[in-house]
């Protein structure tokens, strides 16, 4: 079993969101970078759990990003995984990134795991695009994944619940909460990560299908209107007459 886990670099969940260059670029000053939580907590940790069950499993981590991503790749390797590959490009178009991942993924991986989306662009697109590029199956928003030989049993989210489904390998899966629990790397993992192979490859030629014109911040809230705890009827009235939501 060979698993490819796609990891992305995102600003920390508490990072201040601001823009530079006339609102065309994310302002990176003072921003802490992390592994996209969905990629780390769910996709990567689940892959590690599968390797713990079957030690012959091989896990490769894949990042499409510039050299400044290497610290977070090492952090991911400290959690687990045998080696990492970085495709050396900073282009952010989903199709372009998916094409880079597909070029690596077609080299004999059984399972490609991604997080359900990144917390910066919230595209939720990479896994689906990779699966189409490889013309293989895709199960999105999975909350559970078990291997039974060449079949994968998964739970995925549906409106108001979940459904269990089966799909053959090779398969692309986007992972979300429920799949695994967050882990903290231990000292042995951190030491070991330093010597694990991190291969850098150059990107393949691929199209760019979209481009970001500008960013904007949402309009500021007018400020909270406080209502006396003794008079919740006033809240009901405001929600009905002013906010018109009930």
Partner 1 sequence: MSVLIFADAADGQIKKSSLEAITYGVDLAQKIGATASALVLGKVTDDLSALGKYGINKVYHIADEKYNQLDARLYTKAIASVVSTSGTQVLILCNNLTGKSVAPRLSVALKAGLVTGASGLPDTSNGFVVKKAVFSGKAYANIKIPTATKIIAISPNSYKTVAGEGKAEVIAAVGSDIAPQVKVTSTQKVTGQVPLSEAELVVSGGRGLKGPENWGMVEDLAGLIGAATACSRAVADAHWRPHHEHVGQTGGSIAPNLYLAIGISGAIQHLAGVNRSKVIVVINKDPEAPFFKAADYGIVGDAFEVVPKLIDAVKQFKGVA
CB nearer to partner 1: pick between 33 and 121: 121
The neighbour count for residue 205, using CB atoms within 10 Å, is 6
Per-residue tokens: 207: 């199209």
Q: Where are the alpha helices (DSSP H) in 28-184?
A: 37, 45-53, 70-79, 94-105, 126-134
Window 6-35: residues binding partner 1 (CB under 8 A): 11, 13-14, 17, 19
CB nearer to partner 1: pick between 83 and 90: 90
Could you say which of 66, 107, 132, 194 contacts partner 1 (CB under 8 A)?
Answer: 132
Q: How far is the CB of 214 from partner 1 (least distance, A)?
A: 5
Say whether residue 191 binds partner 1 (CB under 8 A). no
Could you say which of 32, 122, 148, 195 contacts partner 1 (CB under 8 A)?
Answer: 122
- CB under 8 A, 24+ apart: contacts of 28-32: none
CB nearer to partner 1: pick between 201 and 227: 227
Contact range with partner 1 by CB under 8 A, out of 1-9, 82-90, 183-191, 206-214: 206-214
CB 114 within 8 A of CB 127: yes
Strand, coil or helix: 217: coil
Window 133-172: residues binding partner 1 (CB under 8 A): 133, 135-141, 143, 153, 155-168
Say whether residue 187 binds partner 1 (CB under 8 A). no
CB nearer to partner 1: pick between 87 and 175: 175
Per DSSP, 192 falls in state H
CB nearer to partner 1: pick between 200 and 236: 236
What distance in Å separates the CA atoms of residue 59 and residue 50, rounded to the nearest whole number? 10
Say whether residue 121 binds partner 1 (CB under 8 A). yes
Q: How far is the CB of 55 from partner 1 (least distance, A)?
A: 29
The neighbour count for residue 35, using CB atoms within 10 Å, is 23
Among 3, 27, 61, 11, which residue's Cα sits nearest to residue 199? 61
């Amino acid at each position: 079993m060979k698993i490819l886990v796609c990891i992305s670099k995102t600003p920390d969940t508490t990072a201040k969101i601001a823009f530079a260059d006339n609102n065309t670029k994310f302002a990176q000053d003072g921003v802490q970078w992390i592994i996209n939580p969905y990629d780390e907590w769910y996709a990567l940790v689940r892959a590690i759990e599968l390797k713990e069950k079957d030690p012959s499993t091989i896990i490769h981590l894949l990042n499409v990003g510039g050299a400044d991503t290497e610290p977070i790749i090492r952090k991911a390797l400290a959690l687990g995984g045998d080696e990492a590959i970085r495709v050396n490009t900073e282009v952010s178009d989903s199709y372009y990134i998916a094409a880079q991942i597909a070029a690596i993924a077609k080299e004999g991986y059984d399972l490609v795991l991604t997080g359900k989306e990144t917390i910066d662009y919230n595209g939720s697109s990479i896994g689906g695009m990779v699966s189409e590029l490889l013309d293989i199956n895709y199960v999105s928003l999975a909350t559970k994944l078990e291997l039974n030989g060449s079949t994968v049993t998964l739970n995925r989210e549906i409106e108001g619940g979940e459904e269990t489904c089966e799909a053959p390998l090779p398969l692309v899966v986007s992972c979300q909460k429920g799949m695994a629990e967050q882990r903290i790397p231990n000292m042995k993992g951190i030491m070991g990560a330093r010597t694990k192979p991190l291969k850098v490859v150059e990107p393949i030629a691929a199209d760019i299908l979209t481009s970001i014109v500008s960013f904007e911040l949402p309009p500021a809230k007018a400020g909270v209107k406080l209502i006396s705890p003794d008079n919740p009827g006033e809240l009901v009235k405001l929600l009905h007459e002013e906010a018109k939501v009930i």
